[in-house]
């Protein structure tokens, strides 16, 4: 495949289920198959491919309590320079065990937003119990740091919903203040 890269001088974008991981954090179990990992890494290095960072989650394959990052997108430097605003989004898993990926040239509407803690929440009566409730309702099936990460993600989603319910949609008011 790398020979083709040097024969055909075109921009490269490769995307799909590579069925291999690149490091231990790509598998919830932490198991690393050295031979497969090394072959995959050598292939990427020899073709000078750069991985796109995934927006909207980390793992792309799920089965019971197992999670892996198997689906990825890579490009060469020429593609990256010509299409510098390209982003890779993980979409919600529906019926399959893989999450679909979407390459786009801009942020998706309702796309990834970093979590922001709002000081006004601390003034809300019983806020501490609300947080506890969200925390204990979160993921209980996973172990260790993956359970912790999943719980944090769950709490963030629940707090965004609760914020809209408790304080209303603040975005229009914010836009008035900004302008």
Please choose, from the candidates 112, 108, 27, the residue with its C-alpha nearest in 3D space to the C-alpha of residue 66.
Answer: 27
Helix, strand, coil shares of the chain, percent, nearest 5, are 40, 15, 40
> What tokens appear for 149 in the block?
């990460």
Q: What is the DSSP letter of 93?
A: P
11-53: pLDDT as tens digits: 888 999 999 998 888 888 888 788 888 999 998 888 888 888 8
Domains of the chain, residue spans:
2-104, 119-178
Is residue 47 within 8 Å of residue 1, measured between CB atoms?
yes
**Whole-structure pTM value:** 0.56
Residues 6+ apart with CB under 8 A from 44: 22, 51, 74
What CATH number labels 2-104?
3.60.10.10
Q: Is 127 left (phi over 0), alpha (psi -120 to 50) or beta?
A: alpha
Q: What is the DSSP letter of 48?
A: T
117-172: pLDDT as tens digits: 888 888 888 898 888 888 887 666 555 655 676 777 778 878 888 888 887 777 77
110-119: pLDDT as tens digits: 455 667 788 8
């Amino acid at each position: 495949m790398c020979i083709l890269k040097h024969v055909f001088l075109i921009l490269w974008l490769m995307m799909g289920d590579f069925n291999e991981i690149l490091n231990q954090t790509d598998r919830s179990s932490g198991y690393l198959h050295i031979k497969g990992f090394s072959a995959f890494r050598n292939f990427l290095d020899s073709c000078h491919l750069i991985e796109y960072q995934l927006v909207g989650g980390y793992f792309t394959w799920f089965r019971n309590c197992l999670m892996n990052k198997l689906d990825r997108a890579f490009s060469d430097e020429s593609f990256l320079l010509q299409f510098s605003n390209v982003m890779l989004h993980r979409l919600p898993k529906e019926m399959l065990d893989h999450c679909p990926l979407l390459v786009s040239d801009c942020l998706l509407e309702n796309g990834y937003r970093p979590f922001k803690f709002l000081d006004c929440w601390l003034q809300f009566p019983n806020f501490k119990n609300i947080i506890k409730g969200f925390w204990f309702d979160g993921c209980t099936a996973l172990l260790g740091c993956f359970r912790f990460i999943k719980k944090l993600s769950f709490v963030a989603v629940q707090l965004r919903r609760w914020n809209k319910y408790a304080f209303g949609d603040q975005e229009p008011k914010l836009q008035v203040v900004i302008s």
